[in-house]
Amino acid sequence: MAVRALWYRPGTLFVLDQRALPERTRVLRLTRAREVAEAIRSMTVRGAPSIGVAAAYGMALAHREGTLSPTAAAKLLRSTRPTAYDLFVGIETVRSAWEEGRDTEEAADAYRAKVVEECHRIGTAGAPLLARAHRVLTHCNAGALATVEWGTALAPIRVARQRGAHLFVWVDETRPLLQGSRLTAWELARERIPHAVIADNAAGHYLSTGRVDAVIVGADRIARNGDFANKIGTYEKAVVAKENGVPFYVAAPWTTFDARRKDGRSIPVEERGEEEVLSLAGRRVAPESSHARNPAFDVTPAKYVTAFVTPGGVVRPPAVARTLARLARER
């Protein structure tokens, strides 16, 4: 296994500080719900499933502190990042336990275990799709760092490689915070998976010249019609992949699917501070008089998705709503 993004011991959430990678491996110890909220907001911990698990433990810590009500704790954590649906699922899972008098730490542990298991199953379900896709393109980081363990987009790559597939990964750098070049490349290098980092605007070149066999990304929220939100720049990759006949896969656990959203038009898109765009590695690269806009996500219509790789197998976009309805009946 590659790495653990976070882990918990009674009273303390340990978080691998993703802002420090790849230069330093720094672990933070969080003991209060407000510290967890700030870690999510600042992207110390990031990636929808990891955010959801961190928020679940944030609720457990709030219960342990005894200074916040379940409603206040949930409000605090919900305010951190509005796009990632897993955040809200993690919060509500532990909030229910809290209000019902059940053990909140056990509820958070169970939620974490569920996320890890679902990501493992995503790897198993998606590996056959990549058996003949020797060159795979990714965007942002949807590996173990983003999902506690295993990954979503990287899980099928890991399993396919374990089964003998010879894979090479094109890693989009993913501006402005470089989650691809800093984090995905770091994970792949640790596991000696062949890869090359490319500028975000080079992906179209490789897609159009026949040097990409498949694209696989994660997601932060998926509507019931199959529209989905992911890191800014995903939409462009999906459109260009479709234009060039390259399959485009989205890997996500069930906690990322938001059955309440009819389509992607109602998915909230977080806009972050302009300094992330105007600076690079702490150094301003734009004129002092310039301003920027910084949407953190974009929404890709379902028509550009070849298939979703889920813990229950491969689901084509037209079947998403039926699958979610069936899962709701079975719960």
Q: Which residues are catalytic?
A: 220
* Rg of the chain on CA atoms, in Å: 19
For residues 90 and 256, give the distance between their C-alpha atoms in angstroms, rounded to a whole number. Answer: 11
For tokens 């800014």, the residue is 232
Q: Which residue has the tokens 């992949």?
A: 241
Q: With residue 54 as reference, give the H or E element that holds it.
A: helix 48-65
Alpha carbon distance 107, 93 (integer Å) = 7
Cα first-last separation, the chain: 31
Nearest to 146 by CA among 295, 44, 299, 259: 44
Kindly report the CA angle at 249 between 248 and 255, in degrees rounded to 5? 145
Question: Prior bond to 176 cis, omega within 30?
Answer: yes
Angle at 168 between CA 116 and CA 175, to 5 degrees: 70
Sign of CA dihedral 91, 92, 97, 98: positive
Measured CA to CA in angstroms, residue 147 lies from 153, 169, 284 at distances of 10, 19, 31
Q: Name the residue among 160, 174, 325, 331 with its Cα closest to residue 259.
A: 325
CB 251 within 8 A of CB 217: yes
Neighbouring-strand partners of residue 298: 230
